[in-house]
Amino acid sequence: MRLLVVEDDPDLNRQLVSALTDAGYVVDKANDGEEGHFLGETEPYDAVVLDLGLPGMDGVTVLEKWRRAGRNMPVLILTARDRWSDKVAGFDAGADDYVAKPFFMEEVLARLRALLRRATGHATSELECGPLRVDTRTSRVTVNGTAVKLTSLEYRLLEYLIHHQGRIISRTELVEHLYDQDFDRDSNTIEVFVGRLRRKLGKDMIETVRGLGYRLAAPENAA
């Protein structure tokens, strides 16, 4: 899952990026409204953490521009202004949730997880696909009740696939969502990780659709 953090305070920006990276997300950052707006409009993020009080272009304007341009990724707004009128302005602009400053990082993480899950149409934090279960809160993965140990990159790939289960996902899309913008997009690491996941979860879980990409589906449906 690839996220964008738009926050002008350098310390808070660093903390957010580090906490989100630790939680297994790929994170791009922007320090002002213009840069944030540009990234959000050009890169395919799964979610955005957006501060409302930004220099240059304020957060509400950035969000409105994204939504007008048809960018509908979930957006979590951070605001120090706790008047209801400010919060409502954020939601009117198209925000999906908000966290009021000062906040604990855990709160941001929990709300982001929920947003990502709801954005892909899942009601709980436990995602299922046949014998496979992924708990997005604890990053725990089981197959038929048996725990499976995954590296962080393997987990990221699986999480993205299970959030979008049943849909064919291209290699390019996976690269865009699993790596930050500086990643060399021609490398064959995705194939390597898909191979490793198949070994750990069972080879029927991830189907290769020739020329199009991969699809995660319960084995009986996969055929």
Does 120 sit near another protein (CB under 8 A)?
Answer: no
Interface stretch with another protein, choices 38-46, 87-95, 172-180, 199-207 (CB under 8 A):
87-95
For residues 84 and 176, what is the distance between their CA atoms, to the nearest angstrom? 36
Q: Which amino acid is at 140?
A: R
Stretch that binds another protein, among 82-90, 168-176, 190-198, 207-215 (CB under 8 A): 82-90
Binders of another protein in range 38-77 (CB under 8 A)? 53
Q: Does 183 bind another protein (CB under 8 A)?
A: no
CB 4 within 8 A of CB 182: no
What is the rounded CA–CA span in Å between residue 161 and residue 56?
Answer: 37
Question: Is residue 12 a contact residue for another protein (CB under 8 A)?
Answer: yes
**Among 42, 70, 84, 138, which residue sits at the site for another protein (rule: CB under 8 A)?**
84
Binding residue (CB under 8 A) for another protein from 11, 182, 184, 186: 11
Q: Is the alpha carbon torsion for 171, 177, 178, 183 positive or negative?
A: positive
Q: Does 118 bind another protein (CB under 8 A)?
A: yes
| Range list of H helices, the chain | 10-22, 33-42, 59-68, 84-93, 105-119, 152-163, 171-178, 189-201, 219-222
Which residues are near another protein by CB under 8 A? 9, 11-12, 15, 19, 53, 80-88, 91-92, 95-98, 100-105, 111, 114, 118
